[in-house]
Structure 1
Amino acid sequence: MQEKKLQTYENHTRLHPLQHFIFMPIGAITLLVAIIFTITSIVKDDFSFITFLIMALVIMSIIAGLLARMNALKVQDRTIRVEEQLRYFMLTGSPIDSHITMPQLIALRFASDDEFPGLVSKAALTGMTPDEIKKEIQQWRKDEHRV
């Protein structure tokens, strides 16, 4: 059986191949081609309803894809917020500091239970950035679900 690799600051980011290497490049190329086609049509005085329709469909498709991605990330963020607030309460018996921002909380999810309360306090007091929080973590808690 293959041993799972430990998650660290260096390897914690994830890419979704279908999203990052297929959908986004094809979307960018399609948008570029549609813009060139539209400009060429205007320059040649050949702009038609079909040209407008192609451009509109390309833009709407890209917006729909981006909205689907952004909404999924918002749901993940809300889930992380609730999970980490509950985790903090279970570890300390008190609610999490209200000065903790959502980006800080997302970064704090990687901290082990031993480090978590201390890092929450430090982040709230000093205003640490998410990157600074991740660099402070000594014992990483894996998160393989967020993309």
Structure 2
Amino acid sequence: MKQQNYHNHRKFYPPHHFIYLPLLILLEVYGVYKVWDDPANKLTWILFSIVIFLLFYLAFMTRQHYALGLQNRIVILEFRQRYFEIFNNRSEETVGKLKFDQIAALRFADDEEFKELLYRALHENISGDEIKRSIKNWRADRLRI
């Protein structure tokens, strides 16, 4: 398997990203085109376009809401567990000082870089993207949704 790094850490679900959503986009474009091309059935094509748009919106928002909500909770729990393992201390105060993008980015750092980047995140307020760009020894996360 290819080594994970900043440039290739995003993940796609092919049936959703490359079949279902593009198909809905094509149907939406077709429906909007038919609104202007078929004036006799304009209302039908408007309703068709509205239904396709709602299906697209629902698919996008439901996927985002469930997957990201659950993933965010797990990322925070992983951070808290890792923090305890490294520092042998509870993490509530530290978690309260960090933004989620910083916590999420720190999971890609190995233990030594984790300490350094956590310090920088707390004292220099570097962003999650800056944290990711600073990682030299990338810890792959292959279990993401």
The one-letter amino acid of 1:18's match is P
State the match for 1:94 in structure 2. Answer: 90
Gap change, CA 1:104 and 1:37, over 3 Å in 2: same
Which protein is richer in helix relative to its size?
A: 2
1:97, CA displacement in angstroms? 4.4
State the match for 1:141 in structure 2. Answer: 139
Q: 2-side partners of 1:128 and 1:119: how far apart? A: 9
1:104, CA displacement in angstroms? 1.3
Gap change, CA 1:97 and 1:53, over 3 Å in 2: closer
From 42, 45, 60, the equivalent of 1:47 is: 42
Aligned length: 141
SS at match of 1:47: helix
State the match for 1:68 in structure 2. Answer: 62
SS at match of 2:34: helix
Structure 1 residue ranges without an equivalent (≥5): none
1:45, CA displacement in angstroms? 5.5
Structure 2 residue ranges without an equivalent (≥5): none
Q: 2-side partners of 1:31 and 1:51: how far apart? A: 10
**Cα deviations across residues 5-51 of structure 1 (Å, max 9, x unaligned)?**
3222232222222222222222221111122223445xx36433x33
CA root-mean-square deviation? 2.0
User: TM-score, with normalisation over the residues of structure 1?
Assistant: 0.82
Q: 1-side partners of 2:28 and 2:123: how far apart? A: 45
**Cα deviations across residues 96-135 of structure 1 (Å, max 9, x unaligned)?**
3422111111111111122213211211222212221112
Q: 2-side partners of 1:12 and 1:46: how far apart? A: 47
The one-letter amino acid of 2:5's match is T
Q: 2-side partners of 1:78 and 1:38: how far apart? A: 44
User: TM-score, with normalisation over the residues of structure 2?
Assistant: 0.83
SS at match of 1:37: helix
Gap change, CA 1:8 and 1:46, over 3 Å in 2: closer
In 2, are the aligned partners of 1:84 and 1:105 still within 8 Å (CA)?
yes
